[in-house]
Amino acid sequence: MECSRVMELLSEYADDELDSETSDEIRKHMESCSSCKYEYELLMGVIDNCRRLGEVDLP
């Protein structure tokens, strides 16, 4: 799988919305591609921070 395709699917991968074959391809790609792995780690950091914020009351 190429980096451009991994980037297209990264959000779905992070949300566990892909079939197992595609998820495996992305995981294997990231094992050898530090750029894609870094982007995934950044995305997971953002997701984690958003979850920690919880709900905010609107004025």
Domain residue extents for the chain? 3-51
Task: Show pLDDT as tens, one digit a residue, over the chain (59 residues).
Answer: 999 999 999 999 999 999 999 999 999 999 999 999 999 999 999 999 988 887 878 88
Q: Are the beta carbons of 47 and 16 closer than 8 angstroms?
A: no
SS3 percent helix, strand, coil of the chain, rounded to 5, is 75, 0, 25
The pLDDT of residue 25: 98
The pLDDT of residue 51: 85
